[in-house]
Amino acid sequence: MFPLKDDIPARRLPIVTMLIIALNCVVFVIELMAGRRVENIFLMYGITPARYTITDISDLFTLHEQAMPFLFSMFIHGGWMHLISNMWTLWVFGDNVEDKLGSFRFLIFYIIGGVAAAIMHILTNADSPIPTIGASGAVAAVMGAYFRFFPSAKVMTMIPPFFLGPFFKIPAILFLGWWFILQFFNGTLTLAENTKIAAGVAWWAHIGGFLFGVFLSTIIIPKQKRDKDWEWI
């Protein structure tokens, strides 16, 4: 299933969501310009579990070099479809979550969500030498927050390969709930012997990001009508 739009208009321009999308696009252009050197970008700034779990490898990097991928990896993509699917999903769900949290706190939420997803990926793929890139984990955190804040919203959904329709309006709680079940099912398969890599998808990063988004949005009092009416509990 692929989300096309939801039925909740944002009350204000989603500045941070738009800036995140723009930054991802700029980074992707840099990747295209890098040509064959893009592999070096993936290796340096992607999340490679072995880099953190194997002492002989981790000793080759400084603390700064080890920390950089947790931020930079979520702005790097491996292809056009990887970029478009992540950014479109962020556009569909991010504006309302930003509206709910406020722009600055949404930015912090997005970044921490991406970090939480990366940590989950490392924990579930220890010793893997394959770098992981993409905004999927951070976007999954946004989806988790949307699941918590807007369960009754309707999501206009396309079901491939029927790209020209019919389209279906599905309650967000069902759309996102089914999406999470699929991630969990596929993620569980990757834990089985000889299936560590499943179509190059970091399923547990998606799972970790989504669960983090649900959790953090549960302990946050959302931004109210006045900007100053916002606090943590």
14-25 pLDDT tens trace: 999 999 999 999
- Compute the distance between CA of residue 117 and CA of residue 98 in angstroms, rounded to an integer: 19
Q: What is the DSSP string of 125-165?
A: STT----B-SSHHHHHHHHHHHHHH-TT-EEEEE-TT-TT-
Encode 95-120 in three state secondary structure.
Answer: HHHHHHHCHHHHHHHHHHHHHHHHHH
Share of the chain above pLDDT 70, in %: 88
pTM across the whole model = 0.88
- Write down the pLDDT at residue 225: 46
Q: How confident is the model over 83-110, as a mean pLDDT?
A: 95
For the chain, what are the domain ranges?
Answer: 2-232
Q: How confident is the model at residue 226 (pLDDT cuts 50, 70, 90)?
A: very low
Q: Determine which of 20-34, 121-135, 179-193 has the lowest per-residue pLDDT on average.
A: 179-193
Q: Does CATH number 1.20.1540.10 belong to domain 2-232?
A: yes
Whether the pLDDT of residue 35 is over 50: the answer is yes
Whether the pLDDT of residue 110 is over 70: the answer is yes
- Residues whose CB is less than 8 angstroms from the CB of residue 77 and which lie 6 or more positions away in sequence, other chains included: 24, 27, 28, 31, 83, 86, 133, 134, 135
